[in-house]
Structure 1
Amino acid sequence: MKRIHLSLLTPLLATAMLSACAQPSNPASAAAGQPADGTIARAVDEAVTEARREIHEGNITLSNDGPGGAKAEITPQGDFLIDGRKVGVTPAQRALLLEHRSRVAAVAEAGMQVGLKGAELATIAMKEAARGLLSGDSTSVEAKVEAEAAKIQGSALQLCGHLPALLASQQKLAAALPEFKPYATMTQADVDDCKADVKKDMVAENAAAG
């Protein structure tokens, strides 16, 4: 399974946002409610479904940055693997591993929601752009797209809301399981930067709109 990391969400969202900026190849069909690129949402939905399956059924890879480049994973059963080697854990440590795994999964789920909102925005933007081309009403088109973009920002803030619990579970696990400590790289700065970055983007977009 691929490493779950917040930065992996960026290409998915960026693709959706870039698609939202593109003009449809067939404005008439989009204006009639049939987007020229209706595959965007379906493709993202399929990717999210597969990602959810991997998260719940496969190993969650935490990092490849351990000593000597060793990869750390947590299995659905709460085993801790380093380069495929199972580390002996107590029942209490296994419980902490499962808790941390659930926190990582929650962040990944929230990130996928951001991607889904981006795909929805792409579809809506293309349809509205087509209507705007036909009607000459660009003002209402911009208002609708901005309203949808605000939903993405809301989803991004919800993602940030999962980070304090993720950090807390990481710290508890690092204190209880020495082998996990090299992989406990998340800091309070990461939590603080998440909301700050989203709010910064919101301010920049509002300024551009004004």
Structure 2
Amino acid sequence: MRPLLVVGVLALAACQPADKDSVPTGVAAKALDEVANGLGDASKEMEKARQEIAAARERLARENISLNRDAKQDLPKAEITPAGELLIEGKSIATSPEQKALVLAYRGELLGVVGDGMAIGMEGARVGIDAAASALKGMLAGQNGDDIGKQVGEQAKAKLKPMVAQLCTRMPGLLSAQQALSAALPEFTPYATMDQSDVDDCGDANGDGNWTF
């Protein structure tokens, strides 16, 4: 996949005149031809990426999940198994049935968040290809560069914002599961790095509830 496709197309769009009868010529025309070819290649690679992500999600469901470690604390590696075991440096921590249930609940919440994150990443790549295609089409039609940029931004927002919102609805559950497990299993507490700010800031990169694409 060509990661600079969108950047290149939008840059070319900004250089195009607003005259609807104008047609890109010279270097611009050659660049547009290259972008058009690249879009075809990128679309083919998207299917491969989709299959790889699907395989990764299946692996997550049946493999151990590594927990985040605070580098300042120099914590040993910790994992949660599909069976609900907490492993620290490969050794299983003894748990009661109640504690194991909390481990499994936390793992389930993690899988939900990670799965949504993968889906957003995949859709983001698709949005990039669609944006480049829309920009290319707009340029060939003589559309103004500013109009193309606005249109692409709105398309990205329409597709990605609902997906990010869905992920964010999972965050309170993940925090609650983490807190419950931390309270019940002291060995897990050093790995409980999520806090309320992670919930509050989800999907609000600008800090004002507005999105920029």
TM-score band (shorter)?
0.7 to 0.9
Go from structure 1 to structure 2 and tell me whether the alpha carbon gap of 1:65 and 1:136 turns closer, same or farther (over 3 Å shift): same
The residue correspondences of 1:181-196 to structure 2 (distance < 5 A) are 181-196=189-204
The residue correspondences of 1:1-210 to structure 2 (distance < 5 A) are 18-23=4-9, 26-27=34-35, 35-65=40-70, 68-138=74-144, 141-142=148-149, 144-150=151-157, 151-197=159-205, 200=208, 202-204=210-212
Distance 2:8 2:76 in 1: 42
Letter in 2 for 1:147: E
Matched pairs, number:
188
Q: Is the 8 A contact 1:71 1:83 kept in 2?
A: yes
Higher relative contact order (CA 8 A, sep 6+): 2
The farther-off stretch of 109-118 and 38-47 is: 38-47
What is the RMSD computed on CA atoms of the aligned residues?
A: 2.8
Distance 2:175 2:117 in 1: 16
Q: Is the 8 A contact 2:181 2:188 kept in 1?
A: yes
Uncovered stretches (5+) of structure 1, i.e. residues with no partner: 1-14, 206-210
Question: SS of 1:81's equivalent?
Answer: strand
Go from structure 1 to structure 2 and tell me whether the alpha carbon gap of 1:142 and 1:60 turns closer, same or farther (over 3 Å shift): same
Question: SS of 2:83's equivalent?
Answer: coil
Letter in 2 for 1:145: V
The runs of at least 4 consecutive aligned structure 1 residues that moved more than 6 Å come to: none
Report the TM-score, using the length of structure 2 for normalisation.
Answer: 0.76
Q: Is the 8 A contact 2:69 2:75 kept in 1?
A: yes
Q: Is the 8 A contact 1:56 1:76 kept in 2?
A: yes
Letter in 2 for 1:85: K
Letter in 2 for 1:79: E
Going by fraction, where is helix more abundant, 1 or 2?
Answer: 1
Question: SS of 2:117's equivalent?
Answer: helix
Indicate the structure (1 or 2) with the bigger Cα radius of gyration. Answer: 2
Q: Is the 8 A contact 1:72 1:83 kept in 2?
A: yes
Distance 1:19 1:158 in 2: 28
Deviation at 1:153, TM superposition (A): 2.4
Deviation at 1:116, TM superposition (A): 1.6
Deviation at 1:198, TM superposition (A): 6.1
The farther-off stretch of 147-156 and 102-111 is: 147-156
Question: SS of 1:26's equivalent?
Answer: helix
Uncovered stretches (5+) of structure 2, i.e. residues with no partner: 10-31
